[in-house]
Amino acid sequence: MATESLLTPARTRLASRTSQLKGSIIDSSTSLLASQTHDIVRFAMGAPNAELIPEAELAGLYTQPASGRYDYAATEGNPQLIEQIVAYHARRGQLVDPGRLLVTTGGMQGLDIAFKLMVDPGDLVIVESPTYTNGISTALSYQGQVLEAPVDDEGLIVEALPELVAATGKTPKVIYVIPNFQNPSGRTLSEDRRRRLLELAEQWDAFIIDDDPYGALRFEGTDVPGFAQLSPNNPRVVAVRTFSKVLAPGLRVGWMDLDPALRALAISAKQSMDTCTNAPMQQLVADYLAAGRLDAHLDTLRSVYRERKQAMQTALAGAFGDEIEATDPQGGFFLWLTLRGRYAEINTERLFEVALRHGVAYIPGPAFSDSGAFTDALRLCFATSTPERINQGVERLHAALEEMARDGETR
């Protein structure tokens, strides 16, 4: 009884920040889908499929002896891994000083540390709308005030920011941006807008959290220079990176690239979270990179994802014609779909259950906004399924939408 009273909705005994703690619909979909017994085409989680994870190579490398594998490791990260991350960046034409790197438990911990260092209660945090669910929830967990800014085919509409910001009466503290093949829309921020954003950050004395898990997965077009290239060693730019999308998400290994003074604070923050990133997994990733395997693996991923994106576009065009509108990503994992015509009034959160019954899963649009927008949109991950399964999944989605349209379901 006593315990219950501590957890009343008023939460009087809990920290005030718990009132802004939100779960992640995306993360929860993992257990929801695992509990389903019928066949489901998985367009929901942003994860590579098992057949695209180099399991045999990783298993082989894991059998190699490694001293201190099961010991506590340095908070900064395994030195061999840091060396390999520097080399990985160098091969992509990016010079990174190892004294700026901090290995993290996935990209999520990088986001958590970044927001923890920057956001006081009530601070204004600009986010793309739509944006990555967990980015919003992390900003909210530190009691930030989220300002949702619109995006178009060139990413965040940076030109719109001054007016949106002025209306809040505050000066932004953080601009959270996913510059390449954005989650969920698949869009990429143009070079001009990146430059303009750097100027605005300067003007507002704000940080840019540059969250880029997908940048190495460009399968069409040409790379847009990153913030670090446009403004080297800018202390306002904190880069959050991860091996989740290019190697395997279950490893939980990522890294931050940030100003050395900030890095010292980030290390202190991490020490009060988990002491160090999982040592065996850091060693495994270091060994995989040292064996020179990642670049060839990335080539494979790019060509497989190009084929899968095209398969999804073809299937969508065949099934829906112009009753949907979809983005055209040049890399990454996601297509963002907006319902049109006969489907325009269908609520994608309600559609989810129907679609699940038909054997297809996706993430409904409102998961990507704090204000509940995008009830007419949804995110599809094309990276997880083969072209055959993609066709099947799109057919099932079509059947679910037809059922809703027939029953006159609306928002």
Contact 220, 18 (CB under 8 A): no
Q: What share of the chain is helix, strand, coil (3-state, %, to 5)?
A: 50, 15, 35
Contacting ligand PMP (CB under 6 A), which of 41, 46, 137, 365?
A: 46
Please identify, using beta-carbon distances, which residue of 182 and 283 lies nearer to ligand PMP.
Answer: 182
Q: Is 364 among the residues that bind ligand PMP (CB under 6 A)?
A: no
* Closest approach of ligand PMP to the CB of residue 274, in Å: 13
Query: Segment near ligand PMP (CB under 6 A), from 72-80, 105-113, 191-199, 263-271?
Result: 105-113
Interaction pattern, residues 48-87, with ligand PMP; x per rule: CB under 6 A: ----------------------------------------
Contact 309, 219 (CB under 8 A): yes
* Closest approach of ligand PMP to the CB of residue 177, in Å: 10
Furthest C-alpha separation in the chain: 64
Q: Is 174 among the residues that bind ligand PMP (CB under 6 A)?
A: no
Contacting ligand PMP (CB under 6 A), which of 106, 144, 186, 359?
A: 106
Contact 187, 151 (CB under 8 A): yes
User: Does residue 111 sit in helix, strand or coil?
Assistant: helix
Query: How many alpha carbons lie under 13 Å from residue 218 in its C-beta half-sphere?
Result: 14
d(CA 281, CA 271): 18
Task: Please list, in sequence order, all residues whose beta carbon lies within 8 angstroms of the beta carbon of residue 202, skipping any fewer than 6 positions away.
Answer: 236
Query: Segment near ligand PMP (CB under 6 A), from 66-74, 101-109, 148-156, 313-321?
Result: 101-109
Q: Which of residues 191-250 bind ligand PMP (CB under 6 A)?
A: 211, 213, 242, 244, 249
Please identify, using beta-carbon distances, which residue of 148 and 359 lies nearer to ligand PMP.
Answer: 148
H helix intervals, 205-293: 227-230, 260-271, 279-290
Contacting ligand PMP (CB under 6 A), which of 146, 178, 351, 361?
A: 178
Q: Is 132 among the residues that bind ligand PMP (CB under 6 A)?
A: yes
